[in-house]
A and B are shown apart, each in its own frame.
Chain A
C-alpha cells in the first residue's frame, strides 16, 4: 500500500484524452489563449470565499497568471465552488453555471465538495458536488490557502492548455443523469431545462 493520496484513475476519462492527439493547430492556439486568460465568476458560495480576496488582490495577485474576476456569469470561464454547498446555494450555482458560455470550468475548494467535509451529517448540504455538476479540479484543504488555490488554477491551466478538459460537454451529454440528481435534492423546481442548443431556436443566429 502506497503512502500519500491513493490515486484511482477513472476509466471514463480515458477516451477523452485520446482525442487530443489529432487536434488542429487552430485548436492548439485557441487552447493556449484559453489557458492564458481565465475569468473567474465573483460568487462566493461558501466559507472558502474568504480565501479568494487574497488570491486576487495584491498579496498573491492572480492576475499575473491571467486570472481575473468577471462580474457576470456570461463572461466567466470558471466558477469556484468554495466549500460547503447547501441546497439553496446549489440551486443558484446550477442556474449560474448554465448561464455561462462554453467552454466553462468548475473549481471545487475544500473537503466539503468531495465527501461532505465537516457537514457530512447535515440535512441541508450536498455531499458530493460531482453528482450535480461536472467538476474539473479539486483543491485539497479546509480551507485551501491562496497558494493551494493558485496551484489548482495552474493545474487547470495545464489541462486547458493540453485540451483535455471538456466537462461542459460531459454535462450536456449526461444531462439526464445530472438533472435526476438535481431534482432529487431540489425538487421539480430546480431550473428551466438546460439545453445547449438554446440559441439555435430562440430566434438566435
Chain B
C-alpha cells in the first residue's frame, strides 16, 4: 500500500505515527483522489473527523482527514495545506455524508469555505459576525474586553516585582542614610 501511494502521489514519506495510525501529507489537488483510493482499495470506509490546524506563521491551514478501516483497526491521516487567505477546499459530502456537519464546524470556527456542501449554515454559534473564533488572529481577551465587562472592585493590585525593587531601593537608601548618620556621629565624636 505504501509503495503504491508513494509512486502515485509522489510523496516523500508516509509517517507511521503508531502501529495503527499512518499519516501522509499530499498536495491539495491530489487529496480527494487519495481518499477515494483508500476507501475503494484499502477498506478505509469511515471518515472519523476533519480537523484543521491554523499555522499562522506559514500562512496556511492544515486540513486533516482521518479515515478508519471497517474493522476499526487501522487509521489513516491524510493531510493537506490550504492558504489562509480566501481559504477553500472542495466538500467531501458526495463521498462521506457525515462530512457535512464537520465541514459546517470548520466553516464556522475557521471561516473555510467548502464548495459543494449544500448546508453550510451556523452550527453552534448564533449570529456570529466577528472573525471566526478559532483563527489565531482572533484575540479572545481583546474581544472580551471590547464587548463584555468584568466586575469592578479588583483595585489595589500591586506589581510585585516593581514593589520589591522599590522597597529594596528604599531599604538601601535608608541603610545608606543610617550609615551616613553613623559616620557623621562618629566624626562628631572623633572631633570631640
Contacts and interface: CB of A to CB of B under 8 A. Distances in A.
Assess A/B contact in the complex (Cβ within 8 A).
yes
Interface of A: 8, 87-88, 91, 114-116, 120-124, 126-128, 131, 184-187, 189
A51 B109 CA distance: 31
B95 interface: no
Interface of B: 124-127, 130, 133, 138, 140-141, 143-144, 147-151, 153
Contact of A127 (B126, B133, B143, B149): B149
Contact of B127 (A114, A122, A189): A189
Per DSSP, chain A at the interface is loop
20 contacts: A87-B125, A87-B126, A88-B126, A114-B151, A115-B151, A120-B150, A121-B144, A122-B144, A123-B130, A123-B143, A124-B125, A124-B133, A127-B150, A128-B148, A128-B149, A128-B150, A128-B151, A186-B126, A186-B127, A187-B127
Given A91-B126, A114-B151, A122-B140, 14 more contacts: A87-B126, A88-B125, A120-B144, A121-B141, A122-B144, A123-B130, A123-B133, A123-B144, A124-B125, A127-B150, A127-B151, A184-B147, A185-B147, A185-B148
Contacts of B148: 126-128, 185
Q: Which 3 A-B pairs have the closest CB atoms?
A: A115-B151, A121-B141, A123-B140
A8 B138 CA distance: 37
Contacts of A186: 126-127
A121 B140 contact: yes
Per DSSP, chain B at the interface is loop
Contacts of B140: 121-123
A72 to B, nearest CB: 24
B66 to A, nearest CB: 26
A114 B151 CA distance: 8
Contacts of A123: 130, 133, 138, 140, 143-144
Contacts of A184: 147
Contacts of A127: 144, 148-151
Contacts of A122: 140, 144
Contacts of B125: 87-88, 124
B104 to A, nearest CB: 15
A8 B144 contact: no
Nearest to A188: B127
Contacts of B151: 114-115, 127-128
Given A122-B144, A124-B133, A88 B124 contact: yes
B130 to A, nearest CB: 8
Contacts of B144: 120-123, 127
A180 to B, nearest CB: 13
A184 B146 CA distance: 11
- Of the listed residues B127, B133, B143, B148, the one surrounded by the most CB atoms of chain A closer than 10 A to its CB is B148
A115 B126 CA distance: 23
A133 B171 CA distance: 51
